[in-house]
């Protein structure tokens, strides 16, 4: 199996040859796990991502196209994508819970830190918000954000810079400092 090209391995995956799937899992699990852990920082969540990525490969092996790149690179991208989806889902859940809490208790106006951060980021244009969310909350590099958003790295850097500048101009220095603190906290 080690000597098979990605093209041949792809064919065997589409033909549902169990040995091919076992080989890909053995070779690719570490790659998916590593890509996912860089974003999620939680072993339980990473385990879920690994399982989803390989279930998806088993169900739809034809989605991998060897002409677009190596299989391990494809698996790493799938791991990153699933992890980012989990982060976005969690942010949406927190946003919904925060909005519900705020509606129940308008007098206190208490939002948890992540909900507070999300409400601030919500004021940004979509492109800037996505780039900042992936870079800071998703803990991705500029290049990884660029790959995820399918944009040039320079565009990603520009969007992050513009978004942070916009936050600085729209909020008091105390609020801006709080936003930056929430973005860079581990």
Label residue 82 by pLDDT band (50, 70, 90). Answer: very high
Four-way CATH pick for 6-82: 1.10.1740.10, 2.60.40.10, 3.40.30.10, 1.10.10.10: 1.10.1740.10
pTM above 0.85, yes or no: no
44, 49, 50, 53 alpha-carbon torsion, rounded to 10°:
170
Label residue 58 by pLDDT band (50, 70, 90). Answer: very high
Q: What is the pLDDT of residues 165-180, one digit of tens each?
A: 887 787 777 776 777 7
- Cα 123 to Cα 126: distance, rounded to the nearest angstrom: 9
Label residue 23 by pLDDT band (50, 70, 90). Answer: very high
* Domain positions in the chain: 6-82, 112-184
Q: What is the pLDDT of residues 135-168, one digit of tens each?
A: 877 778 888 888 888 899 999 999 988 988 887 7
Please determine, for residue 83, whether its predicted confidence score (pLDDT) is greater than 70.
yes
CATH number of the structural domain 112-184: 1.10.10.10
């Amino acid at each position: 199996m080690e000597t098979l090209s990605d093209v041949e391995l792809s064919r065997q995956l589409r033909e549902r040859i169990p040995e091919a799937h076992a080989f890909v899992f053995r070779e690719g699990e570490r790659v998916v796990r590593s890509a996912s852990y860089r974003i999620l920082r939680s072993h339980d969540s990473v385990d879920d991502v690994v399982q989803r990525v390989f279930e998806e490969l088993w169900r739809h092996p034809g989605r991998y196209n060897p002409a677009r790149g190596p299989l391990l690179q494809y698996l790493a991208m799938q791991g990153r994508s699933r992890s980012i989806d989990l982060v976005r889902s969690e942010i949406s859940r927190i946003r919904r819970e925060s909005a519900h809490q705020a509606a129940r208790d308008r007098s206190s106006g208490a939002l948890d830190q992540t909900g507070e951060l999300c409400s601030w980021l919500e004021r940004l244009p979509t492109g800037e918000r996505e780039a900042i969310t992936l870079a800071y909350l998703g803990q991705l590099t500029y290049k990884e954000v660029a790959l995820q958003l399918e944009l040039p790295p320079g565009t990603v850097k520009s969007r992050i810079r513009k978004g942070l500048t916009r936050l600085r101009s729209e909020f008091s220095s105390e609020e801006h400092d709080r936003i930056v603190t929430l973005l860079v906290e581990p």
